[in-house]
């Protein structure tokens, strides 16, 4: 993480709700708060359907926020600005999509895919400069100039994701949302793409929001990690703190599912098995959204929404078990789990 800890983004009470029927509302993101510092990688994890991808798209204003603020370099991304300001913000905030097969236009050459943003923003003076920029970007991501005139179907999944990364870099952004950028790739290719992203981060002073469900990979690349469940943020800490000392029962369950390479440790360690299914985001439980599956749940969990508290320096959690007002009620349950 950057030593000066200068905030690049501030996400304040961000909500994104979708109307899915006459009376039903899907609360995909329901009031999350976190900051992202310049030069860091912020990992966002959780089960499928927890709202992490929707959060990433709302941060970039690919979705309009239902409520809350996203402040980027002092500017509110979701405010009603002039077209020029909005266009400049979009140039500095880019996205790498999950599916390299669906995110590239099959009718466009690689050259035109990468240069599309350059054309929109008028960043090349002439055709020659445009071509030189595309070739430089291809080489930056490990491809070569011969690839420029080919079409996406001629490439492997890993190569297509490199093209997607080159497209994101074309506008010289400060911030990139990487929405599960390796989940559709073969395991043998995943590490290559992650290492490429880490190298580019150092070379270009990039800041990432890295969205994934693979907690082992998130630990490898992230400085800090936020854990989402049913549209809410459950826990946030530095990568080391979160993996060494998870506080929230949901985080503990996720981490216990990560395989350990040492067979003796793997054999003896305790798995946390969650009961039941994830509730519907159109009809979430009262109080804490995790209470219906939580081994620590008490009556207060159904009655009061947990506050987002800083339990230790830099380590935030939304759980009554760590709230001074209610923590004594959870002593017996914690002892039983330890």
Token reading at 322:
């760590």
pLDDT of residue 5: 82
Environment class of 20 (CB within 10 Å of its CB; exposed 0-12, middle 13-18, buried 19+): exposed
Between β-strands 25-37 and 7-19, what pairing exists: parallel, antiparallel or unpaired? Answer: antiparallel
pLDDT of residue 1: 47
What are the strands, taking DSSP E only, across the chain? 7-19, 25-37, 41-45, 67-72, 75-76, 93-96, 175-179, 207-212, 224-229, 232-238, 309-312, 315-317
pLDDT of residue 39: 96
pLDDT of residue 2: 43
Place of tokens 């074309």: 170
* 7-246 belongs to CATH 3.40.50.300: yes
Token reading at 61:
């204003």
Between β-strands 175-179 and 93-96, what pairing exists: parallel, antiparallel or unpaired? Answer: parallel
CA–CA distance, 242 with 16 (Å, rounded to integer): 26
Token reading at 314:
């830099």
CA–CA distance, 145 with 295 (Å, rounded to integer): 56
pLDDT of residue 83: 59
Element (H, E) at 189: helix 187-204
Q: What is the signed CA dihedral for 276, 297, 314, 27, rounded to 10 degrees?
A: 50
Residues lower than pLDDT 70 in the chain: 1-4, 81-84, 259-271, 273, 334, 336-338
- pLDDT above 70: percentage of residues in the chain: 92
């Amino acid at each position: 993480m950057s030593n000066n800890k200068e905030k690049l983004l501030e996400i304040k009470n961000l909500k994104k709700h979708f109307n899915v029927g006459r009376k039903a509302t899907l609360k995909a993101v329901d009031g999350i708060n976190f900051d992202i510092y310049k030069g860091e990688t912020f990992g966002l994890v959780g089960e499928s359907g927890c709202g992490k991808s929707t959060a990433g798209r709302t941060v970039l204003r690919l979705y309009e926020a239902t409520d809350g603020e996203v402040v980027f370099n002092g500017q509110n991304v979701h405010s009603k600005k002039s077209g020029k300001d909005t266009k400049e913000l979009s140039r500095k905030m880019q996205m790498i999509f999950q599916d390299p097969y669906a995110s590239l236009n099959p009718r466009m050459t690689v050259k035109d895919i990468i240069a599309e943003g350059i054309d929109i923003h008028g960043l090349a003076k002439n055709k020659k400069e445009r071509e030189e920029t595309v070739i430089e970007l291809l080489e930056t991501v490990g491809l070569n100039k011969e690839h420029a005139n080919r079409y996406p179907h001629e490439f492997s999944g890993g190569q297509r994701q490199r093209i997607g990364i080159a497209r994101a870099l074309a506008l010289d952004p400060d911030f990139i949302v990487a929405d599960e950028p390796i989940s559709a790739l073969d395991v043998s290719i995943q590490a290559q793409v992650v290492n490429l992203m880490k190298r580019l981060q150092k070379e270009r002073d990039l800041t990432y929001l890295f969205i994934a469900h693979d907690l082992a990979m998130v630990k490898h690349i992230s400085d800090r990690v936020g854990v989402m469940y049913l549209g809410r943020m459950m826990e946030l800490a530095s990568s080391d703190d979160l993996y060494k000392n998870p506080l929230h029962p949901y985080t503990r369950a996720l981490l216990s599912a990560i395989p350990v390479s040492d067979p003796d440790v793997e054999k003896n360690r305790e798995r946390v098995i969650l009961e039941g299914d994830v509730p519907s985001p159109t009809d979430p439980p009262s109080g804490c959204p995790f209470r219906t599956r939580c081994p620590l749940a008490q009556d207060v969990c159904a009655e009061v929404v947990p506050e987002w508290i800083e339990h230790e320096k830099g380590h935030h959690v939304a759980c009554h078990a760590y709230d001074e007002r209610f923590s004594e009620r959870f002593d017996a349950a914690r002892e039983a789990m330890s």
